[in-house]
Structure 1
Amino acid sequence: MPEPGIAGTRSCRNPELPEPGAASPAKLVAPILLSVNRKNKGEHVTEPLKILFLAAEVDPFAKVGGLGDVAGSLPKALKSLGHDVRVVMPAYQKIEQGFPGVIPIDGMLRVLTGAGMIIAGGFQSVLPGSEVPIYFIAEQNLFDRSHIYGYGDDAYRFSFFSRAALELTLALDWQPDIVHAHDWHTAPAIMWLATAPKKDKRLQNLATIFTIHNLAHQGRSSWDIIEYLNVGQTYSLNEEGYGEINFMARGIHHATMINTVSPNYSREILTPEHGVSLEGLLLHRSFDIHGILNGLDYEAWNPASDPRLVSNFDVDHLSARVNNKRALQKYLQLPQRDDVPLIVMVTRLDYQKGLDIVGHPLHLLLSNRIGEAQFAVLGTGAPEYERMFANLANTHKMKMTAVLDYQTDLAPLFYAGSDIFLMPSRFEPCGLGQLIAMRYGSVPIVRATGGLADTVLDGYNGFSFNQLRWEALWYTLYRAIYLYYTDPSTWRLIQNTCMSTDSSWSRSARSYQQLYRWAIARHLL
Structure 2
Amino acid sequence: MAEPLRILFLSAEVAPFAKTGGLGDIGGSLPKALHDMGHDVRVMMPAYANIEAGYPGVGSMPLQLNVPTGSGVISAGAFEGRLPGSDVPVYFIAEHNLFNRPNIYGYWDDPYRFAFFSKAAFELTSHLDWRPDLLHAHDWHTAPAVVWLATAGQADDRFRGIGSVFTIHNLAHQGKTSWNVFEYMQLYTHGLAEEGYGEVNFMARGIYHANIINTVSPTYAREIMTYEGGAGLDGLLRHRQRDLHGILNGLDYDEWNPATDPRLPAHYTVEAREARDENRRALQAALGLPQLSNIPILAMISRMDWQKGFDLMGHAIHLLMNGYSGPAQFVVLGTGQPHYENMFRQLAGYHREKMAAYIGYQANLAPLIYAGSDMFLMPSLFEPCGLGQMIAMRYGSVPIVRATGGLADTVHDGITGFTFYDFNGDSLWHAIQRATYVYNTDREGWRRIQTNGMHANFSWQRSAEAYQQLYEWARAQMLYRG
| TM-score tier (shorter) | over 0.9
Whether 2:125 is the aligned partner of 1:151: answer no
Q: Distance in 1 between matches of 2:153 and 2:462?
A: 38
1:94 pairs with 50, 65, 68, which one? 50
Whether 2:166 is the aligned partner of 1:210: answer yes
Q: Distance in 1 between matches of 2:354 and 2:79?
A: 48
1:197 to partner: Cα distance: 6.5
Q: Distance in 2 between matches of 1:245 and 1:159?
A: 12
For 1:180, the equivalent position in structure 2 comes to 136
For 2:444, the equivalent position in structure 1 comes to 489
Q: Distance in 1 between matches of 2:65 and 2:34?
A: 28
For 2:197, the equivalent position in structure 1 comes to 242
The amino acid across from 1:174 in the alignment is: W
Whether 2:262 is the aligned partner of 1:310: answer no
| Matched ranges for 1:113-512 at <5 A | 113-196=69-152, 200-231=156-187, 233-512=188-467
Deviation string, structure 1 residues 316-364 (Cα, Å, up to 9, x no partner): 1100111111111111110011211111100000010011011101000
1:409 to partner: Cα distance: 2.2
The amino acid across from 1:136 in the alignment is: F
Deviation string, structure 1 residues 58-108 (Cα, Å, up to 9, x no partner): 000000010000110000111111111010000001111111111111111
Q: Distance in 2 between matches of 1:483 and 1:409?
A: 30
My pick for the range that moved more, 181-190 or 197-206, is 197-206
Whether 2:40 is the aligned partner of 1:81: answer no
Contact 2:154 2:160 in 1 (8 A): no
Q: Distance in 2 between matches of 1:339 and 1:165?
A: 56
Any stretches of 5+ residues in structure 2 without a counterpart?
none
Q: Distance in 1 between matches of 2:211 and 2:310?
A: 37
Contact 2:290 2:353 in 1 (8 A): yes
Contact 2:371 2:397 in 1 (8 A): yes
For 2:25, the equivalent position in structure 1 comes to 69
Q: Distance in 1 between matches of 2:39 and 2:182?
A: 34
The amino acid across from 1:348 in the alignment is: R
Q: Distance in 1 between matches of 2:264 and 2:47?
A: 32
Structure 1 residue ranges, 4+ long, deviating more than 6 angstroms after superposition: none
Whether 2:68 is the aligned partner of 1:112: answer yes
Contact 2:9 2:136 in 1 (8 A): yes
Q: Distance in 1 between matches of 2:120 and 2:255?
A: 30
Q: Distance in 1 between matches of 2:396 and 2:349?
A: 29
2:9 pairs with 43, 48, 53, which one? 53
Q: Distance in 1 between matches of 2:245 and 2:361?
A: 33
Q: Distance in 1 between matches of 2:196 and 2:255?
A: 43
Question: What SS is found at the alignment partner of 2:7?
Answer: strand
The amino acid across from 1:370 in the alignment is: S
For 1:33, the equivalent position in structure 2 comes to none
Question: What SS is found at the alignment partner of 1:203?
Answer: coil
Q: Could you tell me the TM-score, scaled by structure 1's length?
A: 0.91
1:49 to partner: Cα distance: 0.5
Between 1 and 2, higher relative CO (CA 8 Å, sep ≥ 6) is seen in 1
After superposition, the CA RMSD in angstroms is 0.9
1:198 to partner: Cα distance: 7.2
1:367 to partner: Cα distance: 0.0
Deviation string, structure 1 residues 365-418 (Cα, Å, up to 9, x no partner): 000011100001100001111111111111111111111101122211111111
Q: Distance in 2 between matches of 1:415 and 1:151?
A: 35
Contact 2:154 2:161 in 1 (8 A): no
Q: Could you tell me the TM-score, scaled by structure 2's length?
A: 0.99
Q: Distance in 1 between matches of 2:292 and 2:318?
A: 20
Overall identity of the aligned pairs, in %: 61
Q: Distance in 2 between matches of 1:298 and 1:401?
A: 29
The amino acid across from 2:78 in the alignment is: G
Q: Distance in 2 between matches of 1:95 and 1:350?
A: 29
The amino acid across from 2:200 in the alignment is: I
Deviation string, structure 1 residues 120-154 (Cα, Å, up to 9, x no partner): 01111110111111100001101101110111110
Question: What SS is found at the alignment partner of 1:421?
Answer: strand
Question: What SS is found at the alignment partner of 1:77?
Answer: helix
1:478 to partner: Cα distance: 0.3
